[in-house]
Amino acid sequence: MNKLIPLKIPLLNANEDEVVLASLYVTDQQRINQGDLLAVVESTKTTAEILAERDGFIVGLMAKEGMSFKNGQVWAYLSDDENAFDPDLTPWSVQSAANKNNTLEGLRITKPAQALIKKHGIESCKLPTDQIITTDVVQALIDHKKADKVNWVDRPANDNKRILIYGAGGHGRTLLELIRLLPGYKVEGFIDDGLPVGKFMLGLPVLGGKDKLGQLFADGVTLAVNGVGGIGNFQQRLDAYLALRDAGFYCQTVVHPFAYMEASAKMEAGVQIFPFAYVGSLVKVGYGVIINTAAVVSHDCVLGELSNLSPGATLAGGVEIGPRTLVGMRATINLGVRVGADARIGNGATVKADVPERGIVPAGSVWPPRK
């Protein structure tokens, strides 16, 4: 084995293109044997062990616990030679900012990402310090900055209840089942860019992709719900909202009949609340928030726009969740904690202190970590 064999992140869930490396059991240049446990990765739905497929040395290690990776992304290499790794010959070579006058000093960042940062004037304080910064990471920051400035449609264009669902995947089909329990709505069908026109899902057709939105709006369909869950790729969910906004659609708030909201709780448009969820007194729920099955949002919480509470998540009183943040299944966030924008709280985590913007709390862990 003279060549470098890339070790890639496995696909855990076809609906998520990103996972978190929850546990790492190897170090750079470590000798490993076939069958050794190398790492554990997790999505919002499941976890998986990465085992060594043959003997060799771990080289070119680019992973740390808590880092996010795309499906198929290289996180290390395997070689017969512990000194075989040449960073300049690999697709994941990184540029270390050695100049003390460089504001990017100490960050692991690719050269194309540096160019993108300079072009868009991204502040170094906004960059994550716990992962290799690629163009994808920088582009996500640019897209999220744009999302902060979006003006959403704040009222429907007419009084009818004709509504469409953008996205015919699992989340979209679940929304269809929910809407069918609510009085008065007439669901026209699904908009989905990846399915053929005319395909039926739960008795309703796929009407077309986003290029069909203008025609539907002109025909008097002015309500929509976003059926793109976007757990592993928030940008997909945001793109759906932007397409609906640009076509003039009002995103309807939908609350399952078996969910309970206190009368003093306030919601913006586009909110989705699923069965057995609880929303407490004086809670403020921002635009497009998902409160999934059996999630608990206690009194005085504030949920930033487009944030997502997974099934069974529990927020104690006075918790603040930043925009676009994901709280995993059965995670618990303690009284008065603030979680920054674009953070990710892993499944089953317990959060006892504030989490910074873009912070990652690994699944099953207690935050803050012990020093």
Whether the pLDDT of residue 93 is over 50: the answer is: no
pLDDT for the residue 290? 97
Question: Residue 183 burial (CB < 10 Å; 0-12/13-18/19+)?
Answer: exposed
* H or E, element range at 7: strand 5-8
Residue 190 binned pLDDT confidence (cut-offs 50, 70, 90): very high
Specify whether the CB–CB gap between 336 and 318 falls below 8 A. yes
29-47 residue pLDDT tens? 899 999 899 998 887 777 8
What pLDDT was estimated at residue 99?
Answer: 34
Does 20 map to a domain? Answer: yes
83 pLDDT above the threshold of 70: yes
Residues with Cβ within 8 Å of 203's Cβ and at least 6 positions away in sequence, in order, are none
User: Looking up tokens 């997909």, which residue turns up?
Assistant: 236
Instruction: Determine the pLDDT at residue 109.
Output: 74
How high is the pLDDT of residue 230?
66
Residues 266 and 363 in one domain: yes
- Average pLDDT rounded to a whole number, residues 287-311: 96
Is position 286 within any domain?
Answer: yes
Measured CA to CA, the distance from residue 101 to residue 104 in angstroms comes to 9
| Lowest-confidence segment of 17-31, 294-308, 341-355 by average pLDDT | 17-31
Predicted pLDDT of residue 89: 39
Residue 131 in this model has a pLDDT that exceeds 80: no
Least confident interval from 58-72, 106-120, 163-177: 106-120
- List the Cα angle 123/125/129 in 5-degree steps: 125
pLDDT of residue 140: 72
Last residue in a domain, options 89, 107, 137: 89
pTM, two decimal places: 0.68
pLDDT of residue 85: 61
Both 344 and 295 in one domain: the answer is: yes
302 Cβ contact list (under 8 Å, min separation 6): 283, 284, 286, 319, 320, 321
Distance of CA 243 to the CA centre of its chain: 19
What value does the CA radius of gyration of the chain take, rounded to a whole number of Å? 22
- Give the count of domains, the chain: 4
Q: How far apart are CA 309 and CA 240, in angstroms?
A: 19
267 has pLDDT over 60: yes
**Whether residue 210 is found in the same domain as residue 264:** no
Same domain, yes or no, for 365 and 282?
yes
Distance CA 176, CA 161 (A): 14
Q: What is the mean pLDDT of residues 138-155?
A: 69
* Side-chain half-sphere exposure of 8, counting CA atoms within 13 A: 10
Is residue 186 domain-resident?
yes
The pair of structure tokens assigned to 323 is: 């925009």
Q: Which positions ≥6 away from 69 have C-beta within 8 Å?
A: 9, 18, 19, 20, 21, 41, 63, 75
> Nearest-CA neighbor of 41 among 369, 330, 363?
363
- Say what the pLDDT of residue 252 is: 95
Residue 153 within any structural domain of the chain:
no
Residue finishing a domain among 59, 89, 119: 89
Residue 152 lies in a domain: no
Report strand pairing: 366-367 vs 344-345.
unpaired
Residue 183: asked if its preceding bond is cis (omega within 30°), the reply is no
| Of residues 339, 263, 274, the one with CA closest to residue 301 | 339
Q: How far apart are CA 99 and CA 109, in angstroms?
A: 14
Average pLDDT over residues 92-113: 50
Residue 290 belongs to some domain of the structure: yes
The first and second tokens of residue 368, run together, are 């803050």
Residue 154 lies in a domain: no
Of residues 112 and 10, the one with the higher pLDDT is 10
Asked whether the predicted pLDDT for residue 55 surpasses 50, the reply is: yes
Judge if 270 and 287 occupy the same domain.
yes
Residues 16 and 40 in one domain: yes
Q: What rounded mean pLDDT belongs to the chain? A: 85
Q: Does residue 81 fall inside a structural domain?
A: yes
Q: Supply the CATH number for residue 310's domain.
A: 2.160.10.10
Q: Which tokens sit at 158? A: 């007419």
Task: Tell me if 28 sits within 8 A of 59, measured CB to CB.
Answer: yes
| 234 pLDDT above the threshold of 50 | yes
Mean pLDDT of the region 209-228: 95
Tell me: do 277 and 371 sit in the same domain.
yes
Amino acid at 302: V
Mean pLDDT of 93-115: 53
Looking at the structure, tell me whether residues 247 and 266 fall in a common domain.
Answer: no
Report which of 208, 187, 188 is spatially closest to residue 196, judged by C-alpha positions.
208
pLDDT higher than 50, residue 98 = no
DSSP-assigned letter for residue 169: S
Taking a C-beta distance cutoff of 8 angstroms, is the pair 310, 331 a contact?
yes
If asked whether residues 125 and 170 sit together in one domain, one would say no
**pLDDT score, position 1:** 46
Residue 242 per-residue DSSP state: H
Domain boundary at 70, 89, 108, which? 89
117 with 138, same domain: the answer is: yes
Q: Please provide the size of the chain in residues.
A: 371
What is the percent of the chain with per-residue pLDDT over 70, rounded to a whole number? 86
**CATH number of the CATH domain containing 68:** 2.40.50.100
Lowest mean pLDDT among 213-222, 289-298, 326-335, 362-371: 362-371
Q: Indicate whether 358 and 303 sit together in one domain.
A: yes
- Residue 241 binned pLDDT confidence (cut-offs 50, 70, 90): very high
Same domain flag for 138 and 59: no
Least confident window among 22-36, 101-115, 239-253, 345-359: 101-115
Reported confidence tier of residue 147, pLDDT bands at 50, 70, 90: low
Range of the domain at 322: 259-371
